[in-house]
Amino acid sequence: MAKNNKQATGTFRGGIKTRLWVVSVLLFLFGAALIARLAFLQIIQHETLLAQSEKQYMGTVETQFGRGVIYDRNLNELARNVEVESVYVTPSEILDRKKTARVLSATLKLDRDKVYKKISSKKHFVWIKRKSGLDEVAALKQAGISGVGFVSEQKRFYPKRELAASVLGFVGIDNQGLAGIEHAHQSRLKGTTIRQVTERDARGRNIQILDGLHNSISRSYDMVLTLDEVIQFTTEYHLKKQVERFKADSGMAVVMDPHTGEIYAMANVPQFNPNHYGAFPPEVWKNNIVASSYEPGSIFKPIVAAAALDKGLARPQDIYFCENGKLKIGKAYIGEASDHKFGWLTMRDIIAKSSNIGAIKIAQQVGRKPFYEYIRKFGFGEKSGLSLPGESAGQLKDQKNWTGMSLASISFGHEIAVTPIQMVSALAAIANGGNLMAPHITKALIKDGKVVEQFKPKKVRRVISEKTSLQMVEILKSVVKSGTGKTADLEGFDVAGKTGTAQKYNIETQSYSKTEFISSFIGFTPADSPRIVILVMIDNPKGSHWGSVVAAPVFQKIAKKTLRYLNVPSSKERVFILDRA
């Protein structure tokens, strides 16, 4: 019996030891697994988990700061930035949605239903109104509504309002360039993207805006344009008055330095305010001087005359029979724009009196292929390369595709479409001695107050000889002295130029309108030593459509003010200076 008890006791003790050993092993394995898991989380997945943790309690709001300033040539600000605040909400913090929606919509002038929908969102951060007005923000801050917060931003501001708006363009809500210089030079002007950090508690509520990152903003490039705000204002003022006077559809004007290609002014009417561009129809935003093309009419006649002179085929005093006002080409008859019935005219008088038939006779003398080549040399049918978006190349059919009427039609500015910038550049080549200069509107880039890049004048090619240029200057002076351009005459200065009155082509009827015209004048002054070349085009004026009546007076007013502003002495002042010397 004692022996059996002793055996039972031994067995029991052995069982306990076994169980203890099993439990120990299990505890060891559990501890090892726990340590391994902790090691995996703390070492291998540390960065991933940390990022997820921060994402849970930190949010970011991206805003744009430091967009480059745009200046005119004299460093007057045309576009800059102003500090503003944007309004956002944390929906989970809003205590009374109806009241909050009512206050926000009334203060910020927003639709109440749309605001209510936004503040009812399940998101942690919702924009209500970006770049709000100072009064709006002040009123909301005073109201102290729970769940409403504010973020500092920069808003693009155009201090001169409508001035040069079609050139400058405008930016979107995130300060991205959408039109004009702002769009064309977005990469240089864009500024810096700042990530402002918002902290959230465990329930996802925003508790703080951290804006210490503002100190890391690196300035963008500032841009200097060739525009002169005084000349730009003068051009816009007189162009707008004439468009209104003749109830025209629109108007365009360009003022350029013929020797450098620098553009002093580029005006489009109707105008718009880029600070509130959304309040204007999109078609008004367009810079028609570069983006639209037109049949130029008689202002194109100097091109055919220059070609004939440069080829040595004619002289200014050569005479042509102008068919007494009626010329048959194929089955069609071509007449003069006016009721004049010209007989014999010199080349000089053909341009001065603006004879269509005379221009045709000169073109026939030049020939199709050479005439086409000169048109191309003057820059028509190709983009000028001006650093503005949406530039058109115009419309010029390849000479191989010309019809029997093409030579005649193109000689007086029909069956060809040109942009105003092409036209003013071509006349500048005649004015400056024969060189086609690339038009440009950007003068320099500045960073941290220092010029880092300058855009210098660029000669594209020689178009005509200096002799031909001098001959054309005398011919174009006669237009103003005794021809159709008398209303462009300027006391104390010789003016060389050309009037134009082009019938508008109706695509629907495929014929030229008898009631709608583009009236224009293009010229330069002082004629023998030109400082400025100016083009004025007015679309569909009412009451009168002649370029001499509608466009030439605008040229005269712009030229007079601009020459005085540039301190260009008149003939009387030059004589006085010489006498004093």
Indicate whether 54 pLDDT > 50.
no
Please give the full DSSP string across 65-84, using - where no structure is assigned. E-PPPEE-TT--EEEEEEEE
Indicate whether 62 pLDDT > 80.
no
- Return the pLDDT at 137: 83
- Return the pLDDT at 42: 62
Indicate whether 16 pLDDT > 80.
no
Average confidence (pLDDT) over 283-303: 96
Percent share of the chain, pLDDT over 70: 83
Q: What share of the chain is helix, strand, coil (3-state, %, to 5)?
A: 45, 25, 30
Indicate whether 364 pLDDT > 90.
yes
pLDDT in tens, 460-519: 999 999 999 999 999 999 999 999 999 999 999 999 999 999 999 887 787 888 889 999
Query: Is 119 in contact with 110 (CB distance < 8 Å)?
Result: no
Instruction: Give the Cα separation of 535 and 328 in Å (integer).
Output: 32
The least confident of 59-68, 72-81, 291-300, 379-388 is 59-68
- Return the pLDDT at 93: 81
- Return the pLDDT at 195: 65
Task: Spell 232-265 as b/e; 16+ CB within 10 A means b.
Answer: bbbbbebbbebbeebebbbbbbbbbbbbbbbbbb
The least confident of 171-175, 360-364, 530-534 is 171-175
Structural domains in the chain plus CATH codes = 59-162+192-224 (3.90.1310.10), 229-580 (3.40.710.10)
Indicate whether 215 pLDDT > 50.
no
Average confidence (pLDDT) over 300-320: 97
Instruction: Give the Cα separation of 165 and 79 in Å (integer).
Output: 10
Query: Is 532 in contact with 525 (CB distance < 8 Å)?
Result: yes
- Return the pLDDT at 146: 82
Please give the full DSSP string across 416-439, using - where no structure is assigned. -BB-HHHHHHHHHHHHTTSEEEPP
Alpha carbon distances (Å) from 155 to 66, 105, 174, 176, 210: 10, 21, 9, 11, 20
- Return the pLDDT at 285: 95
Which strands sit side by side in the sheet containing 263-269, from one edge to the other? 263-269, 250-256, 532-539, 511-525, 496-506
- Return the pLDDT at 219: 67
Consecutive H or E run containing 279: none
Average confidence (pLDDT) over 200-216: 46
Instruction: Give the Cα separation of 530 and 540 in Å (integer).
Output: 30
Instruction: Give the Cα separation of 23 and 38 in Å (integer).
Output: 22
pLDDT in tens, 221-274: 999 999 999 999 999 999 999 999 999 999 999 999 999 999 999 999 999 999
pLDDT in tens, 117-166: 888 887 878 888 888 878 888 888 888 888 888 888 888 999 999 999 99
- Provide the pairing of β-strand 222-225 with 70-71: parallel
